[in-house]
Structure 1
Amino acid sequence: MTAAPAPGPGARARRGRWVVLLLGAAGLVGLVSVPTWVHGEGRSVLEGTVAVAVPGSQAAPQAPAAALVLLAAAGALALVGRVGRWVVAGVSAAAGVLVVAGAVGVLRDPAGAVAAAVADATGVAAADPVASATAWPVVALVVGAAVPVLAVVLARAPGGWDQRSQRHERPAPGRAGRNASGAADERSDWDALSRGDDPS
């Protein structure tokens, strides 16, 4: 069986561009989860009103998790073939949906996103803390919605995906000393040796 030909320069370049795009998506998702998503206030017996700021990684932990998923997907995309590309596209789309779900949850209920932080800061579990969302959940919503679109385009990308990267592959060693029919006749070899002939 002959080995599959190595991907050409054009196929490697296309694959490399998609890897970079997924890495960029992972970076963007990770970055938008760093700033403050929610400002909140609670009341403490000793300190009065206590202000808290909750970053996206705490308000919507799905976002940094999705960034890690996209990072892993980018690494996998460098090695897989056509079927693997579809799997990577599906996983990437699911990561984008996670980001969207987290952002929508914060925008719909900022008080719920900040309640744990207010309780930690005041020592009192407030029933309905004062809270307001910043613009960052909206940015995360846009970024998260763009990821499934990117995944769909990746799944439909033409050319160069039938051939996997062969950087870590090597051809199986050939079987020397066999004739065209495959196996040598061992008994004939012994007969030749007994006659003093060299069967090789």
Structure 2
Amino acid sequence: MARTPRSWRLARRSAILLLLVLGAGALAAAAPTWLRTSGATALDADVQVHVTGTTAAPGVGAGALVVVAAALALGLVGRIGRWVVLVVAAASGVVVSASAAAILRDPVPAATSAVAEATGVTEMTSAVTLTPWPAVATAVGVLVVVAAVWAAVSSPSWGRVSARHEIVRPAAGTPVARREASTAEAGIDAPGSPAPSGAPGRAAQPPEAGPADEPDEQETWDSLTRGEDPTDR
């Protein structure tokens, strides 16, 4: 069953909205704390260190911003540009997912860097604790890739359906245009067009009757001078 213009517009808007939601979701997942650990200084034996997702995995925040930008651009670009936008969106989803998965595999380097920044030493006094947010960000990145692939699969129908519902005027030289030209030359009017003056095959309209001829004023006075009745003619 062929899609209607409303359905292909809905599909495009759904793709844009889905990418926007997923990009915002990746940003939201990167904001909370991902890692917890502790260190020590000469003045404080227990320094609690909390590492957010944007600090532990900068690629998540950057990729999420690119996904949002790609979603906005999807509503503006043309037929070729949409493929570029969707490829960029899928690549950004891969970056988000890979950055978050790297923290899940080995959170120690990110925790060590955060402890060194907080205490001045790289030695941690407790184990690294992970929150659920790295796993959430990984899942959101995978969903971004799936959404970009779905939009790419449904993307060709956007142009086909819109072109099928456009009214195109026949160009010069086509059989329809030649038939219209021959019809105009033969004097056959198109429906709803005004009838041309002097067209063959149509009875000429009689000229409108003008006002009655007025008698000449000088001749009237001459007749009166001669003693004649000017009205008796």
User: One fold, TM greater than 0.5?
Assistant: yes
Q: For residue 135 of structure 1, what is the aligned residue in structure 2?
A: 132
3-state DSSP class of the match of 2:16? Answer: helix
- In structure 2, the partner of 1:196 is none
Alignment of 1:1-200 (within 5 A): 8-126=5-123, 130-157=127-154, 158-161=156-159
More strand by share: 1
Contact 1:42 1:130 (8 Å CA) reproduced:
no
Structure 1: which 5+ runs fail to align? Answer: 1-7, 165-200
Instruction: Give SS of 1:11's match.
Output: helix
- Percent identity between matched residues is 43
SS of corresponding position for 2:40: strand
TM-score, normalized by length of structure 2? 0.62
Q: Return the offset for 1:104.
A: 1.4
Counterpart CA distance in 2 for 1:45 and 1:128 is 13
- TM-score normalized with structure 1 length: 0.72
Greater shift in the superposed pair: 155-164 or 89-98: 155-164
Distance, in Å, in 1 between the alignment partners of 2:124 and 2:52 is 21
Amino acid of the structure 2 residue aligned with 1:46: L
Gaps of 5+ in 2: 164-233
For residues 36-86 of structure 1, the C-alpha deviation after alignment (integer angstroms, 9 at most, x for no partner) is 111111121210021111011111111110111011101110012232222
**Matched residue count:** 158
> Secondary structure in 1 aligned to 2:158?
coil
Larger radius of gyration: 2
SS at match of 1:92: helix
- For 1:35 and 1:50, the matched residues in 2 are separated by 19
Distance 1:156 1:131 in 2: 42
